[in-house]
């Protein structure tokens, strides 16, 4: 099964973290990603650019797409990174992040991808994920 893992950070998640501590944390998270890759679980891992670079495609109305700057003011957390993994089940997926050093600073949301989502008329499935 494939799982999308979203790393949600509060606005003050890194308050009090020194630049040296941040570099060590970055290095530790890269090492954790390599550990997941060596074990055959990691498909993709990437932090996201600053939230100020975000754009939101809002609900399509009257065949027009509305684009707004993000994030919304109501948002208490922002997604700071994404990881796509393969695991046999949710228990294994959860266990893969038990020692992730970034978990001390964020909330990790893990959600399975739909395995077989086909077009209702043609029966054609979505394009498969291409491994690096």
pTM over 0.85: no
DSSP, res 105:
T
CA gap 58, 101 in Å, rounded: 34
Q: Which domains does the chain have, with CATH numbers?
A: 2-112 (3.30.70.1060)
- Tens digits of per-residue pLDDT, 5-41? 999 999 899 999 999 999 999 999 999 999 999 999 9
pLDDT of residue 40: 97
Most distant pair of Cα atoms in the chain: their distance: 55
Three-state SS letters, 49-75: CCHHHCEEEEEEECCEEEEEECCCCCC
Is the Cβ–Cβ distance between 110 and 3 less than 8 Å?
A: yes
């Amino acid at each position: 099964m494939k799982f999308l893992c979203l790393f949600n950070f509060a606005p003050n998640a890194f308050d009090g973290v020194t630049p040296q501590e941040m570099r060590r944390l970055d290095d530790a998270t890269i090492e954790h990603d390599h550990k997941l890759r060596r074990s055959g679980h990691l498909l993709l891992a990437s932090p996201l650019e600053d939230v100020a670079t975000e754009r939101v495609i809002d609900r399509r109305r009257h065949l027009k797409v509305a684009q707004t700057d993000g994030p919304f003011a109501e948002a208490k957390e922002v997604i700071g990174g994404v990881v796509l993994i393969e695991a046999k089940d949710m228990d294994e997926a959860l266990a893969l992040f038990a020692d992730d050093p970034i978990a001390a600073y964020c909330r990790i949301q893990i959600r399975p991808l739909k395995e077989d989502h086909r077009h209702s008329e043609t029966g054609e499935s979505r394009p498969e994920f291409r491994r690096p």
